[in-house]
Amino acid sequence: MTVHPHTRFVLPDSLNATEPPEARGLSRDQVKLLVAEGSTVTHTRFDRIGDHLRPGDLLLVNTSGTLPAAVDGTWITNSCMAPVVVHFSTALDDGNWVVELRNGGEPTFGGTAGDQVELPRGILTLLAPHQPGANRLWRAKPPVTDMISYLQRHGRPITYSYVNKRWPIASYQTVFARDPGSAEMPSAARPFSFELVSRLAAQGVLIAPITLHCGVSSLESHEPPLPERYDVPEHTARLVNWVKGNGGRIVAVGTTAVRAIESAVAADGSVVAAHGWTDLVLGPDHPAAVVDGLVTGMHAPEASHLLLLEAVAGGGTVQQAYDAALHERYLWHEFGDSCLVLK
């Protein structure tokens, strides 16, 4: 299955955020914020997001915490031994993990079932490709049972080539992180500070938790998102229904929060408590039923996340927002600037 967002743009390398805003002399909540509502685009700063929210609006925030999910190892095959970095993407129900092997910063496609990777204090064994007909992601037997503790001891955050150095795991956590489980940061919430959350609460903006654990994001162009583990608790479902019934808006913080809450929509349009695995893919043919707005970072060209933005706000609004962000030189990716898209 391929997916094709309508939003089109070319991202110059100069707009990749190479370091956290704190390294650029800013606090987390001082990054740029672009607000797109209908045909109107406003440029402001993230700590002023409250100017665009109303009392009674509900922010849905992802409580998933980021794991130091990259581990250095030695790939052992029948013919040779080679250095490799293992990205631990997703914990499966049977105790195995979905992993990606990378060499020189790029994914490796040459694995074979039975290959082993020597890791600190253990061996990873490749079992089978995670997806039929593809061998970028593998189901693998991990070196230990308690992989959360193992990664916290031996791993480091997953980074890609646009980040110019290694940053500590604290740089990859949001103020809402409570449940370790994401291979990569649910980065839309990164600009929130504790002080900003307090101001929003005093303003009458409501906040409710969901959980969705993110896998690796280094998917091929047009590749749909993989199934991810999620949880929408009962109290969040009730609050969403109450807010919708009383004229408030549901604003999801991140595409992860959109995917989770939209996976919990019942046939009558109400939200119910739900958990497990979601393979939901939102887009023009499957628009968002509950979410009225989205706080999000700036996504790469042709990423499937753009389809989800279009499902919330429409392709025209998203294209206008990205055109404006390029013109005003917003920064992209997890350490970059932010966008609030409203229906």
Which CATH number does the domain housing residue 232 bear?
3.40.1780.10
Point out the domain boundary residue: 96, 129, 154.
Answer: 154
Residues 250 and 105 in one domain: no
Is residue 318 assigned to a domain? yes
Angle between helices 255-262 and 305-313 (to 10 degrees): 70
Is residue 5 assigned to a domain? no
Residues 243 and 288 in one domain: yes
Number of domains the chain is built from:
2
Reading the chain (343 residues) residue by residue, the pLDDT tens digits are 445 667 788 889 999 999 999 999 999 999 999 999 988 999 999 999 999 999 999 999 999 999 999 999 999 876 678 899 999 999 999 999 999 999 888 888 878 899 999 999 999 999 999 988 788 899 999 999 999 999 999 999 999 889 989 999 999 999 999 999 999 999 999 999 999 999 999 999 999 999 999 999 755 445 678 899 999 999 999 999 999 999 999 999 999 999 999 999 999 999 999 999 999 988 878 889 999 999 999 988 877 778 888 888 888 888 999 999 999 999 999 999 999 999 8
Is residue 293 assigned to a domain? yes
Residues 175 and 116 in one domain: no
- Which contiguous run of DSSP H or E holds residue 198? helix 194-203
Is residue 229 assigned to a domain? yes
The whole model's pTM is what? 0.93
Range of the domain at 109: 70-154
Integer angstrom CA distances of residue 133 from 98, 128, 130, 138: 16, 11, 9, 12
Residues 90 and 191 in one domain: no
Residues 39 and 117 in one domain: no
Phi-psi region of 307 (alpha: psi -120 to 50; beta: other; left: phi over 0): alpha
Integer angstrom CA distances of residue 307 from 4, 153, 216, 262, 336: 7, 37, 18, 14, 20
Residues 91 and 79 in one domain: yes
Integer angstrom CA distances of residue 186 from 250, 323, 343: 18, 24, 22
